[in-house]
Every structure is written in structure tokens, then in C-alpha cells.
Chains A and B, each alone.
Chain A
Amino acid sequence: MLLLAFDTATPAITVALHDGTHVLAESTTVDARRTGELLAPGITAVLTAAGRKPGELTGVAVGVGPGPFTGLRVGLVTARALGDALGIPIHGVCTLDVVAYQTKTEEPFAVATDARRKEVYWAQYTDRFTRSTEPDVAHPSLISERLTGLPVAGEGAVLYPEAFPKAIGPRHPSAGALAELTIRRLQSDPDSLMFPEPLYLRRPDAVEPGTRKRVSTS
């Protein structure tokens, strides 16, 4: 097995290569504005570091968000194109699940990532493997009440300490963890892996025009 994993649903552009036993190489850069520039070179970098060629890949795992749309789509279209070009399966994993897996926590907690516009993407977990709510987007103060002091992982906790006083790590997902989680699911629960459809959770901003604006002043 040679699994390529990457996630672009947060400011971290993270890429890893996994052989089924170990993470062979990992590369992470935090720069939300340069996802389109950094992802492809990141993929080449992990392949080169491990001395492997794209043709040797047997699968691709990608974080499907939720996350800011533009960066998220860079990851998803890259995964779909690689899957098409190499004729290999692609597996989608919820980005919040990756962060949850990285907490190494067996107690209930939540994950919150930055959704911009003063909101977070979030979900609740009973342990690091088990999500108990659907991913959603909301204002931190509204979630804060529901979480009643639970620990919160992800950048959302760092950005909104008043709403989420018990911040725990990690801040961002890691592609090495995404690869591990994907391999676990492939072995135990392949149905939980989805075709990479983006979790946008918000509708596009668009307004239908009203009646025509008049240009005359009189």
C-alpha cells in the first residue's frame, strides 16, 4: 500500500505518504492564502522524500472539510484529478474527525475550526474515534452553552478562548493522522469513507436582483 493523504480545509496545507505501516514522509505549511501554490509541490516533496513515484500510489485520502471553500476545493479537485489520472480510489474523511483523532482523548470533547466571519465549524465527540453530532457552522457563543466546559480542540479554541476556555491540541489537522485514520477505516469500517464531496455547510452568497434600478434621477 502507498497512500497519499492531504487536507486543505484549514490554514494548514498538510501532505503525507503512508505505506500501510508507517508515515513515510509528511510536509505541512500554514498559509491559507497559498493553498493553490503549495499543495502540488507538497505532494512532490513527500514522494521525493520517500523515493517514490506517483505511479506507485495505491490510493488518495483527502479531508473534505468543513472548511473555507476556496482552499477546500483545491484539495478536493486535486484528489479527484489524481484518482482519475492514476486510476486509484480516493477516500474522503471529515477534517474535524482528523483533528479529533489527533487529540488522543478518550473523554468527550469537541472540535472547532475557523470558519471566518466570526464563526466556527464544529462537532462533538464522545472519544477520539466517535463523532456524536453532525458537523455544523455557528457562532462560538452559541456552541459554548451546549458544550458546558468540555475541552475543545482545533484552531477555533485558540481563536475564541472566551467561548472555549478549555483548549486542547492539536490546532490543525495533520495529513499523517489523516492517513492513519483512513487506513483504520479501510480495515474496520470502509463504508465510513466517502467519495470526496465537500462539506460546505453554507450556501453561496448570492442575491437575486430585485426590480431594475432606475438610472434617471427625476
Chain B
Amino acid sequence: MTALKDSPLVLGFETSCDETGVGIVRGNTLLADAVASSVDEHARFGGVVPEVASRAHLEAMVPTVQRALADAGVTLADIDAIAVTAGPGLAGALLVGAAAAKAYALALDKPIYGVNHLAAHICVDQLEHGPLPEGCVAMLVSGGHSSLLFVPDVTGDVQPLGQTIDDAAGEAFDKVARVLGLGFPGGPLIDKAAREGDPEAIAFPRGLTGPRDAPLDFSFSGLKTSVARWVERRERAGEKIPLADVAASFQEAVVDVLTRKAILACKENGADHLLIGGGVAANSRLRVLAEERATKAGIRVRVPRPNLCTDNGAMVAALGSELVRRGRAPSHLDFPSDSSQSVVDVVVR
């Protein structure tokens, strides 16, 4: 308990998309994870509307900070450092979080770290499963990203191995859910519908798995189109769509490719740990298949609990905490937000 008390208390801000997240951690201990989401306001548009998200961030910011402080049972005076997502993400949304974080840092006279959203998605697992092993492979699968990364050091050395060349995995879930008339966001709805279906009912294509394809890149756009065609053909013929089977077969195609390539990435890099993060990591079938295939290959899988996989402030605080622990230099107050920040830039200074 004393060691815990000695670790710095870090306040983290996340506003890269439609969740206003404020988290508080001490060392690797999660104390608060307050999230306000504008997802309901976007549902009728079938996707996130940037300006709607930015307006919601402004309104939610201070109340979410207050909720996090209350949940953690601390006051602003106790905070030792601040971390905030600098990018990548929606430009206008990122700026709200960065400006708020800078104002708190300035008022409290504490160091601020402008950090990479993707590195934060990786680092969050420290809150759940302890320090990251040196040199693990991370697979980040969300609404905006699908990447495989080699991570010798989450505070400074994150190496891209492969990524999607078109749609992100979560985006594919969302688009297919629309085709099936399930609603937004589609991931959880497809996950649920798939439980009643047969994953082998329809053989949907596995993107970029040919011998000449980039072994660690992904492609989900062809899969999405293929599902849409399949559904339209049945609709035109006046046939009933077997929702559960389509959902299960689509999901299987995504998850099959993701896990296959993730294991390959581990083998190629001599990593014996695979970390999965991002919203799609909440997918129940992905968790099962990754575990199954990794066990066979002698690889340990780490997946944080679902609400730490989707965007949240605790993940940013977790990365901030690790940066402080390793004595990394903080950012200057004039650091820019960068909507297309590269995954190799862990901290913007």
C-alpha cells in the first residue's frame, strides 16, 4: 500500500472520437474511468459526425473530470501529472481534450504529456494484467484502426508490422450491421446475433491471405462488399435473410484473418505475448479464437476487459503513468494535436 501511495497520481484525457474519457491511475492501479459518450447522438447518422462529437466533448468535459475525481476519491490538488491524447483521431475532437488538459496542467502547475492514442490502447492492459512483457506484439482493432505492432517499449519504441489497406475491422462490423439493418455501432450487435448462427454457413472471403499478399496487412472492404452482395441477391429473390448465419459467417471471416496474422506476427518477431486492444477486442469470438490459436503456438494472450478496450481516459492515464515512471520528458504547453499522428510517435513534445 505504501509503494502504491508513492507512485504518481495521473489524470488522463481522451477525446479522439465520440467518447469524452477522463481516467485516474496511481502507478498501474486504476482509480477512476469516467466516460461520457455521444454515441446516441450519432446513431441516426449511421456513423460519428465530427462536429456533433466535438460539441458534446465541450459540454461533457468538466462534469466528466469531476465525476472521475469523485470516483477516485481524490482532488485536483493530489494530481501529479496529466496525459492527453494528442492523436490520431478527429481533429476538432482532439483539440477539445488537449485544450482542457493544458488548462488543468497550467492551473495546477503539473507536467503534461500529449500522447498517442494507439500506444494508450496498448498500455491500458498494464492496469489489468501488470507490466507489459518486453517485446510483445500488439493487435489494435477498432473503428478507426487495424494494426499489428511490435512493442519493445510502449513509451518510446512502437514498430508497425502491418495494418489495414482499406476499412478498419470495427468499420467493417459497423458497415455490415447497416447492411443487415442492425443499428450502430454494429460490432456488439453482430457479436450478439452471431451467437445463434453457424460460422461456416457461408464462405465469405478472407482478405489478403493469398501467397503474394502482404502477410501482416489487412483488407476488409472486399469482405464487406461480398456480404452486401450476398444479402442483396437473397433480397431480390424475395428470400428471407438468415441474419444469425450471415453475422456469424462474416464475424468468422474477420476473426479468422485477424488471429492468423497476429500469431504469424508473434512468430516472426519472437514474441511470446500477444496483446489485443481497441473496441473490436471486445468481440467474444475474437477472444476465444485468439486464445485457442495462441495456446497451440505457445503464446500468451492478454486482452483487457471490454470497457478498457473501447476509448477511455484510463488508458491515457496508464500511458502517462508509465511515461512518468520511466522518467520520460513531458510535452511543452504548445504541443499540437495531430489527427494523423503516426503510431511511432508515442509522445508529442
Which of A83, A205, A207, A215 is most buried by chain B, counting CB atoms within 10 A of its CB? Answer: A215
Give A41 to B103 CA distance when docked, in angstroms: 10
Enumerate A1-57 residues with CB–CB distance to B below 8 Å: 34-41, 43-44, 53-54
Residues of A within 8 A of B158 (CB): none
The reply to whether A74 and B99 contact each other, CB–CB distance below 8 Å, is: yes
Contact with A along B227-269 (1 / 0, CB 8 A): 0110011000000000000000000000000000000000000
Residues of A within 8 A of B292 (CB): none
Residues of B within 8 A of A207 (CB): 45
Number of B positions contacting A (CB below 8 A): 43
Give A39 to B59 CA distance when docked, in angstroms: 20
A-side interface mostly: helix
Quick check: is A150 within 8 A (CB to CB) of the other chain? no
The reply to whether B106 and A40 contact each other, CB–CB distance below 8 Å, is: yes
The reply to whether A215 and B229 contact each other, CB–CB distance below 8 Å, is: yes
The reply to whether A40 and B51 contact each other, CB–CB distance below 8 Å, is: no
Give A32 to B299 CA distance when docked, in angstroms: 50
The reply to whether A40 and B102 contact each other, CB–CB distance below 8 Å, is: yes
The reply to whether A84 and B66 contact each other, CB–CB distance below 8 Å, is: yes
Residues of B within 8 A of A206 (CB): 45, 49, 51-52
Q: Measured between C-beta atoms, what is the minimum distance from A65 to chain B in Å?
A: 12
The reply to whether A84 and B65 contact each other, CB–CB distance below 8 Å, is: yes
Residues of B within 8 A of A44 (CB): 106, 333
Extra contacts besides A85-B108, A212-B179 (16): CB < 8 Å? A37-B336, A39-B99, A40-B106, A53-B109, A70-B92, A73-B96, A80-B100, A81-B100, A82-B106, A82-B107, A84-B76, A85-B103, A205-B49, A215-B228, A215-B232, A216-B229
Q: Could you tell me which B residues sit within 8 Å of A by CB distance?
A: 44-46, 49, 51-52, 54-55, 57-58, 61-62, 65-66, 76, 91-92, 95-96, 98-100, 102-109, 178-179, 225, 228-229, 232-233, 332-337
Q: Could you tell me which A residues sit within 8 Å of B by CB distance?
A: 34-41, 43-44, 53-54, 69-70, 73-74, 76-86, 198, 200, 204-209, 212, 214-216
Ordered by A's residue number, 21 sampled pairs between the chains whose C-beta atoms are within 8 Å are: A36-B95, A37-B336, A38-B334, A39-B99, A40-B103, A44-B333, A69-B55, A70-B91, A74-B96, A77-B57, A77-B58, A77-B99, A80-B62, A81-B62, A81-B104, A81-B107, A84-B62, A85-B103, A198-B55, A209-B46, A215-B229
